[in-house]
């Protein structure tokens, strides 16, 4: 049974048997890994809170036929503890973790997705920006890394330089009047500027944005995400927006 060691972000856990859990971890070098933590639900488990969602850990596992087994875990960052104390931040973190789980595959290394989710959790734990902004920034960037980068300036179909007003999910962002399909949304220009800032990491613009533009941007981001994932993200329903 080969042993391996990696660092990773705990995405979610499932109960297994009487006292075990299956832990899904987005690792730095191995991609997504599902491993069993034996006895973790007992109060005297040596794992303690290390393998709770939103924690960053250094884990040692041995490979199994179906699932790996975690033998040791050391905390690298306890973001989950700070996030769970504040309900809006917790719901935003849950949506980010579920999205990361959906966008990544087991056994396929994806360093950019790992760095993105770790950065989003650090930002939520430090509470430097509004949770809904951090979530939307994460969702847009995670989609971009996965190959679905939205366009908020130039036409997503013909590349005509913007700015343009119409936004179409299927087309991949804003569209010019010539390419505009029926049923396209027409968000406020400030909303499109906010979304572009979130995608680019321009926090000065994002932090100064108005609540109504944030709400509109969140709606577009959620719809864009679920359009490309082809299924709903359950946590998004519970995210508390400003």
For another protein, the binding residues (CB under 8 A) are 12, 17-18, 43-44, 46-50, 52-54, 75, 78, 80-81, 83-87, 90-91, 94-95, 97-98, 101, 234-235, 237-239
- In terms of CB distance, is 77 or 185 closer to another protein? 77
- Shortest approach of another protein to residue 170 CB, angstroms? 26
- C-beta of 78: minimal distance to another protein in Å? 5
Beta carbon nearer to another protein, 204 or 231: 231
Q: Which is nearer to another protein, 80 or 162 (CB)?
A: 80
3-state secondary structure string, the chain? CCEEEEEEEEEEEEEECCCEEEEEEEECCCEEEEEEECCCCCCCCCCCCCCCCCCEEEEEEECCCCCEEEEEEEEEECHHHHHHCCHHHHHHHHHHHHHHHHHCCECCCCHHHHHHHHHHHHHHHHCCCCHHHHHHHHHHHHHHHCCCCCECCCCCCCCCCCCCCEEECCCCEEECCCCCCCCCECCCHHHHHHHHHHHHCCHHHHHCCCHHHHHHHHHHHHHHHHHHHCCCCHHHHHCCCC
Task: Output the smallest distance, CB 11 to another protein, in A.
Answer: 9
Task: Report the nearest approach of another protein to the CB of residue 21 (Å).
Answer: 10
Query: Considering beta carbons, is residue 17 or 181 the nearer one to another protein?
Result: 17
CB of 121 to another protein, least distance (A): 12
Q: Which is nearer to another protein, 5 or 237 (CB)?
A: 237
């Amino acid at each position: 049974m080969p042993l391996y060691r990696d660092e990773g972000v705990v995405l979610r856990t499932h109960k297994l048997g009487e006292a075990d859990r299956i832990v899904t971890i987005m690792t730095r070098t191995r991609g997504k890994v599902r491993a069993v933590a034996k006895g973790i639900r007992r109060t005297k488990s040596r794992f303690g809170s290390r393998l709770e969602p939103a924690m960053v850990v250094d884990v040692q596992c041995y490979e199994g036929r179906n699932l790996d087994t975690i033998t040791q875990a050391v905390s690298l960052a306890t973001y989950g503890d700070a996030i769970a104390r504040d309900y809006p931040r917790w719901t935003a973190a849950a949506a980010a973790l579920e999205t990361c789980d959906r966008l990544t595959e087991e056994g396929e290394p994806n360093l950019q997705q790992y760095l993105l989710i770790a950065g989003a959790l650090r930002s939520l734990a430090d509470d430097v920006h509004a949770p809904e902004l951090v979530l939307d920034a994460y969702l847009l960037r995670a989609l971009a890394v996965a190959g679905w980068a939205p366009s908020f300036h130039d036409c997503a179909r013909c590349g005509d330089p913007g700015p343009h007003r119409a936004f179409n999910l299927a087309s991949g962002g804003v569209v010019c009047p010539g390419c505009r399909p029926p049923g396209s949304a027409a968000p406020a220009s400030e909303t499109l500027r906010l979304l572009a800032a979130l995608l680019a990491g321009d926090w000065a613009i994002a932090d100064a944005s108005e609540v109504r533009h944030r709400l509109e941007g969140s709606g577009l981001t959620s719809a864009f995400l679920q359009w490309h994932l082809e299924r709903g993200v359950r946590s998004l329903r519970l995210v508390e927006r400003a």
